[in-house]
Amino acid sequence: MAKQVPDTRNVGKDAMTAEGTVNRAALAAIFNPEDLNALEMALQMKDRLGEATVHVLTMGPQRAADIIREAMFRGADGGYLLSGREFAGSDTLATSYALSCALRKINPDIIVAGRQAIDGDTAQVGPQVAEKLGMPQVTYAEELIEIKDGEIVVKRRLERGTEVVVSPLPAVITVNSSAKECRPRNAKRVMKFKYALATSELAAADEQCRNFIDERPYLHIVEYAAADVNPDPEQLGLAGSPTKVKKIENVVFQAKEAKALTAEDADIESLMVELISSHTLG
Amino acid sequence: MANFFSDNKDLQYHLSHPLMKRIIELKERNFADAGVYDYAPQNVEDALDSYQRVLDIVGEVCGEVIAANAESVDKEGPRVVNDHVEYAAGTARNIEALIEAGLSGMTLPRKYDGLNMPVTCFAMANEMVARADAGFENIWGLQDCAETINEFASEEIKAKFLPWVSAGATCAMDLTEPDAGSDLGAVMLKATYDEAAGVWRLNGVKRFITNGDGDISLVLARTEDGTKDARGLSMLIYDKRDGGVKVRRIENKLGIKGSPTCELVFNNAPATLVGDRKMGLIKYVMSLMNAARLGIAAQSTGLCEAAYREALKYAGEREQFGKPIIQFAAVAEMLKNMEAKTIASRAMLYETARFVDIYKQLNHISHERSLEPEERQEMKFYNRLADGFTPLAKMFASEYANEVAYDSIQIHGGSGYMKDYACERLYRDARIMNIYEGTTQLQVVAAINHVTKGTYLEQIMRYEENTPTEATKAMFDKLVALREVYTKAVERVESIDKECAGYKDFHARRLVEIAGYIIMSHILLRQAGENEEYVAPAQIFVKYASKKIVEASSYIEQSEASDVELFRA
């Protein structure tokens, strides 16, 4: 699973709208960075297993097919674009619901995703998908140690060290940014897959292009509309999203007036008293 | 995300040159591969789009991986472990990234798993790699050896080695020996045919071998017992997996420290003959060297780019007397000249690469079928230009790399002399570029023939057929006048040389430089006519070029035949 996100790492002054929402037009749409770590881990699984295939599932507008192509350039075999206005306005609950519906249809042996996306920073979608599909989940994965029939061994990056866990498969693995960086785009793959299109893109293409892709099924990115994944409409999009944004505030960090202290005991004591009374200490 | 392709408009400009269309048609043999390989292009636009995308990958790997490793590679360098080279950790990571990105075998045909890209694109990739780390460019750029294998070796050798290059095998060309540097005819490494094993056996020592422990080595060796000159030398191919070659030491160099320069000891190492006996130096090494010279021109241009950018960045940040130093005229002038030299190097490099591409492809095609009369004509035409322009491209780019790196340190002031900034590494790295693959002095020896034969003058006259624009008219007229200065200087030198042998040799560099300055200026003028962003750099370069031409020509004017004696050692 991967997500196309606005590039919030290089924000200019026009990154936010006056209303305090993300100005998507001003920010480049990129492959969510931790999803690239996840892609790398998935490709490593394929490298070790030999016969496996890696497909990317993303939910988003038509242009999100860009990240599926990007994944194909880096080694993925193909992808699924889950797209439609029914999905608009989804919070993490509705997103994970929609994704899990698609995943039931795709029926993968293992699901790998980035820990979190840089636009929402929730880290909820991966675990929610695991819950909905009734699969075990391994979060904060940093390194694939072993994968074999029905079992995966993964090193997790935790706050105070690492932990190696064994999980039965199928499972959902969410990958940390400390995991190996994704391999680069591959020249031959780029040349091979550059014309890959999702169904709705294909419909808009000219006849020559359609014929070209019809002759080459590997260039066809599967696209699912809501109806294709048999969802409960009540759980989709805004209707299925209990998260309500009450207020958005611009937080401005301001340096308050500095206070000069000497090394005298009296000054240090007054500082201690002040810090304790403001609950900064103690 | 640093990307050395997308951040360089000048490089992208050269990819859109009109000659690329012809190059692609030849390279793709009318798109015969389209139905056979899923990554082959369907037409010219498709091929250009693929080139652009592949070069974008190169740019990203260079900007994100190779450049980031350059400093540690320079510090750590390679080592000899158990008679073999162990690369610096960063070098190994660079190789891994380039293999993952599928950037090996860039110019090789698809039937050997190559990307089938033109030499021009390979030069662009080399330029970017060198901008990221000039020393690493040597290791990676040596995949060029595969071109020579592809051109001259048997199908059996090609089928064995070329797919391996495409999979990332590194190469070396083992030419130099302790007593055979510029004079390769003196090579003594002995090759004897082992009847029992059906292989050649190599015995002897090679020195100064870049990436000497590469997977595949092309070795220049003496197959003809008792001979002493070039006619006894053949080219052989050695597979590292067969064993028999030890790395005795790695040289401790001033720069390009990540590139292992090896002394090799051959002890009955098995090898296979490439092409015909006795043609090693005469034919194959000449081809290898021409390609390698273009490679150094690309490496030098990349270094110019890196050194210029470092200086530009520093000059914008460093404040003295209350303002960034870039605002001082003396600094700004240096920067503008550095930029103009970089753009001129690049212009010369890709003009040459395009000539090489057309010639080489027609030459390849001539082995597949007989050429039409006009194709034969075309091949001859571009062969002559490629031969004439290659030494110029190598000579100017490598000298400019040194000049731009020198100025880059100057702009950094005292800080530039410290190890804290990249400019000192660039300065050290640049110093070899006008030495190896033929010193500047040897490029002059190759180029002076084209002064005499008129290759340069003919091409200058062709440039003069272009119609100048309003913006370039004044410069254009100046170049026409300078061309007259050139022909006069050539006439004077040739007429005195008739009476005083050695006079032409004495002025060879001056004549070659005058020709080169006029040619580079014309190419920049053409670019300025197409894109106004080149107008200012062209103006700056033409000012610089005319100063240099006046200097050289006035020296010649005042030089008497007796100068030959005066300067004799």
Q: Is the peptide bond before A61 cis (omega within 30 degrees of 0)?
A: no
**pLDDT, tens digit, for every residue of B183-229?**
999 999 999 999 999 999 999 999 999 999 999 999 999 999 999 99
pLDDT digits (tens, 9 = 90+) for B122-146: 999 999 999 999 999 999 999 999 9
Lookup: tokens for B109 = 């045909």
Distance CA B432, CA B257 (A): 11
> Which tokens is B484 given?
């007259």
Whether B471 and B439 have beta carbons less than 8 Å apart is answered as: no
B33 touches chain A (CB under 8 A): no
Residues of B within 8 A of A187 (CB-CB) are 54, 57, 101-103, 115
pLDDT for A165 equals 97
- Give dist(CA A144, CA B497) in Å, integer: 74
Interface touch B50/A183, C-beta < 8 Å: no
Q: Chain B contact for A217, CB < 8 A?
A: no
Across the interface, of A190, A192, A216, the residue whose CB is closest to B57 is A190
What local confidence, expressed as pLDDT, does residue B358 receive? Answer: 97
Any idea what the Cα angle at residue B478 is, between residues B474 and B484, rounded to 5°? 155
Structure tokens at B61: 């790997």
Single-letter code of the amino acid located at B426: L
Residues 105-164 of B with CB under 8 A from A: 115
Q: What is the pLDDT of residue A263?
A: 82
| Average pLDDT value over all residues in chain B | 96
Average pLDDT of span B327-350: 98
Distance CA B260, CA B80 (A): 9
Question: Does any CB of chain B come closer than 8 Å to the CB of residue A216?
Answer: yes
Give the residue-averaged pLDDT of B246-258: 97
Assigned token pair, B511: 């004549």
Mean pLDDT confidence for B305-315: 98
Distance from C-alpha of A155 to C-alpha of A21, rounded to nearest angstrom: 36
When CB atoms are compared, the residue of A184, A188, A218 closest to B61 is A184
- Cα A118 to chain centroid distance, Å, stands at 8
Q: What is the pLDDT of residue A278?
A: 82
- At B108 the pLDDT is 97
Specify the DSSP class assigned to residue B470: T
Rg of chain A over all Cα atoms, to the nearest angstrom? 23
| Residue ranges, chain A, pLDDT below 50 | none
d(CA A115, CA A130): 13
For A209, nearest residue in chain B (alpha carbons): B42
Nearest beta carbon to residue B103 from set A183, A187, A194: A187
Least CB-CB distance to B97: which of A184, A191, A192?
A184
Asked if A190 reaches chain B (Cβ–Cβ under 8 Å), the answer is: yes
Count Cβ–Cβ pairs < 8 Å, chain A vs chain B.
46
pLDDT tens figures, A234-249: 999 888 888 887 877 7
How many angstroms away from the CA of A239 is the closest CA of chain B?
38
ipTM of the complex: 0.92
Q: What is the pLDDT of residue B393?
A: 98
What integer pLDDT is reported at residue A22 of this predicted model?
66
Q: Which residues of B touch A186 (CB under 8 A)?
A: 57, 100-102
Residues 435-454, chain B, touching A (beta carbon < 8 A)? none
pLDDT in tens, B354-413: 999 999 999 999 999 999 999 999 999 999 999 999 999 999 999 999 999 999 999 999
pLDDT score for A243 = 86
pLDDT of res. A21: 63
Model pTM? 0.92
Establish if A188 touches chain B: CB-CB under 8 angstroms.
Answer: yes
Determine how many CB atoms are found less than 10 A away from the CB of residue B271.
24
The number of beta carbons lying within 10 Å of the beta carbon of residue A233 is 11
For A221, phi then psi, to 5°, come to -90, 125
- CA B359 to CA A241: how far, in whole Å? 65
Rounded to a whole number of angstroms, the distance from the CA of A278 to the nearest CA of chain B is: 42
Which pLDDT does position B144 carry in this prediction? 92
Q: Do B50 and A186 touch (CB under 8 A)?
A: no
What domains appear along chain A, each with residue ranges and CATH number?
4-246 (3.40.50.620)
Q: What is the mean pLDDT of residues B264-285?
A: 95
Name the helix (H) or strand (E) containing A197: strand A197-198
CB neighbour class for B45 (10 Å; exposed up to 12, middle 13-18, buried from 19): exposed
Written as one letter, the residue type at B305 is E
Task: Report the alpha-carbon distance of residue B204 to residue B192 in Å, rounded.
Answer: 11
Nearest CB among A185, A187, A218 relative to B115 is that of: A187
CB of A46 less than 8 A from some CB of B: no
Query: How far is Cα B490 from Cα B513, in angstroms, rounded to an integer?
Result: 12
Contact B230, B282 (CB under 8 A): yes
